[in-house]
Amino acid sequence: MKQWYTPAPWTTKECEIDLRPGGIFRTVLASPEGEQSEYVCAYLEVIEHERLVWTSALLPGFRPSTRQGEVPPFTAVISFEAHGAGTKYSARAIHGSEATAGKHRDLGFYDGWGAVTDQLIALVTKR
């Protein structure tokens, strides 16, 4: 995750994963200038080789998050399925309202997730 999860030139400085429902998904992202942002989420669903679902609206143990910040809360649904000799990767973001989806979009969310997908592909094809 540290090698591809954050759109360059930002980096993932820390990553903590407890891959089970209620488990933590925590990242610390850093800009080239040293600015840092921490995100703490909870996994809602973990189906091996099929799907990961996490949300920033909850903390580990399904506790409500009180985080206030620029990035609105959302739920991520990442799906995997066999596709020829590879894997089809799908990412979906669910927001509480059109307004929060718009704010996330305006922050560059879609371009950012596209960039990290490209970074993941580059990392995997290098091996």
| Domain assignment present for 2 | no
Q: Does residue 106 form part of some domain?
A: yes
Backbone angles phi, psi at 61, to 5 degrees: 75, 15
Within a domain: 36: yes
What pLDDT, on the 0 to 100 scale, is given for residue 25? 97
Whole-number mean pLDDT of the chain? 93
Q: Is residue 72 part of a domain?
A: yes
- Answer whether residue 1 is part of any domain: no
6 in a domain, yes or no? no
Q: What is the CATH number of the domain that holds 54?
A: 3.30.530.20
Indicate the pLDDT class of residue 3, thresholds 50, 70 and 90. very high
User: What range does the domain containing 34 cover?
Assistant: 11-126
Q: Give domain status of residue 58, yes or no.
A: yes
Residues whose CB is less than 8 angstroms from the CB of residue 30 and which lie 6 or more positions away in sequence, other chains included: 10, 11, 12, 13, 36
Residue 3 inside a domain? The answer is no
Q: What's the number of domains the chain is made of? A: 1
Query: Which two tokens mark 88?
Result: 């089809």
Q: Please indicate, yes or no, whether the overall pTM of this predicted structure exceeds 0.85.
A: yes
Q: Taking Cα atoms as reference points, which of 64, 57, 62, 74 lies closest to residue 20? A: 62
Residue-level pLDDT at 72: 87
Residue 104 confidence (pLDDT): 87
Q: Which pLDDT tens digit goes with each residue over 29-75?
A: 999 999 999 999 999 999 999 999 999 999 999 999 988 777 889 99
